[in-house]
Structure 1
């Protein structure tokens, strides 16, 4: 199980992930098995009232928690999210939100992360928890 330090490991770019994280504009800032930091624009990720969509917060949370889990698992294993929950504390209507995933448990078959999402004024927007299963690569 490896820990990549506080820099973004090679290949861990938004473009490399493609799909949903890229479409939502998620930018990885720091990544290790213990802590992952990323930001995402509010604009383009809103619900009809013009505030950040709760599902967007969940996508950010699952993306960065899964990155930490993948770094914990190492290159010979895969990680799959099995449970996510989120509490939405306040709205964000402009700027960016920043997610910080902190490893709560890093075992052989499961990882768990707490993810805090804050606005540009460092006010908590969302708190999430993600559990991932680790399996041998097929």
Structure 2
């Protein structure tokens, strides 16, 4: 599947799903342990929230960079999964993140949008913002698309 970004409105980027179905996949995973919840599926984006609390803070009381990266990879990987056929899987092969601002409390919101959705690779940009809309982290995730084992 090759898609331009933003996708043609006549051809949806994601296969049909619901927030309940996407959130159900988080049961028993790191996503559930960190309180990540998918909140919105748009025509070319997926959004989720994560609390800034004892589960996600580092010793200085700030949102742990690793927690931000986990949120970013969760969003990008789930977005990628919603773009592939049932007989395929996608796995992360590279992620980078720039931590731009600290967060000490509240909720951060991540939004994944495609940069490239191809038959063998996908690249997603994930922006994480605090409750005031200030960017906390910007990340880019590259996924490999492979046949389901």
Q: Same fold (TM over 0.5)?
A: yes
Q: Secondary structure at the match of 2:136?
A: strand
From 49, 69, 72, the counterpart of 2:80:
69
Q: Secondary structure at the match of 1:93?
A: coil
Q: After superposition, what is the alpha-carbon deviation per residue over 1:7-26, rounded to whole angstroms, capped at 9, x for unaligned?
A: 7355211x422311110000
Indicate the structure (1 or 2) with the bigger Cα radius of gyration.
2
Which piece of structure 1 moves more, 86-95 or 71-80?
Answer: 71-80
Q: Number of paired residues?
A: 136
- The CA distance in 1 between the partners of 2:107 and 2:20, in whole Å, is 24
Q: After superposition, what is the alpha-carbon deviation per residue over 1:49-97, rounded to whole angstroms, capped at 9, x for unaligned?
A: 1110000000000000001100111311101000000000010001000
Q: 1:4 to 1:73 in 2, by over 3 A?
A: closer
Query: Unmatched 5+ residue regions in structure 1?
Result: none
From 47, 56, 78, the counterpart of 1:45:
56
Q: Does 1:16 align with 2:25?
A: yes
Match of 1:30 in 2: 40
Ranges of 4+ aligned residues in structure 1 off by more than 6 Å: none
Does the Cα contact within 8 Å between 1:84 and 1:131 map onto a contact in 2? yes
Q: Secondary structure at the match of 1:11?
A: helix
TM-score by length of 2: 0.85
- Superposed CA RMSD: 1.8
Query: Unmatched 5+ residue regions in structure 2?
Result: 2-12
5 Å matches for 1:89-128? Answer: 89-128=100-139
Does the Cα contact within 8 Å between 2:19 and 2:38 map onto a contact in 1? no
